[in-house]
C-alpha cells in the first residue's frame, strides 16, 4: 500500500513569491493534517480536515496561508506571499477515523531566500 505522497520534496523561492504544496493521503483515510516543522523542533499542526471540512484551522496563519481539500481526498497548502520565516518542512499526515495512528508523508522542505 502506498503511503502519504507529497510533492514537491524541495522548493526554493524568493520572499514575497507564492508557493503551493500537494498531498495525497493514504486511500480511505478521511482525516488529513498539515504540519509545519522547524529545524530541530517537533511538527506543529496547521490544519486538520475531516473529509472536505476543515475542523481545526486555529493555528493556520490565515493572512498568508490557505488550504483546501475539495473532494475530501487530495489537499493543497498555499502560502502567498512567502516570508523568510516560512522556511521549514511542511508535513502532511492522514488517519483512518477508527484508529488513532497518523501516517506522515516525507514532507516538503521549503527554503525562502
The residues binding another protein (CB under 8 A) are: 4, 31, 40-45, 48, 56, 91, 93, 100-107
CB of 96 to another protein, least distance (A): 13
Choose between 79 and 93: whose C-beta lies nearer to another protein: 93
- The DSSP result for 14-68, as a single string, is -TT--EEEEEEPPTT--EEEEEEE-TTS--EEEEEEETTEEEE-TTS-TTTEEEE
For the record, the C-alpha cell of 90 comes out as 511542511
Measured from the CB atom, the residue of 76 and 102 that comes closer to another protein is 102
Residue 57 or 68: the one with the smaller Cβ distance to another protein is 57
Residues belonging to the chain: 113
Q: How far is the CB of 85 from another protein (least distance, A)?
A: 18
Amino acid at each position: 500500500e502506498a503511503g502519504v505522497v507529497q510533492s514537491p520534496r524541495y522548493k526554493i523561492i524568493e520572499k514575497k513569491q507564492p508557493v503551493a504544496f500537494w498531498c495525497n493521503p493514504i486511500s480511505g483515510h478521511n482525516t488529513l493534517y498539515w504540519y509545519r516543522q522547524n529545524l530541530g523542533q517537533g511538527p506543529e499542526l496547521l490544519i486538520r480536515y475531516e473529509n472536505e471540512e476543515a475542523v481545526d484551522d486555529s493555528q493556520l496563519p490565515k493572512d498568508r496561508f490557505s488550504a483546501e481539500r475539495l473532494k475530501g481526498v487530495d489537499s493543497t497548502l498555499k502560502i502567498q506571499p512567502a516570508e523568510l520565516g516560512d522556511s521549514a518542512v511542511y508535513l502532511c499526515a492522514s488517519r483512518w477515523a477508527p484508529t488513532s495512528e497518523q501516517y506522515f508523508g516525507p514532507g516538503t522542505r521549503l527554503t525562502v531566500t
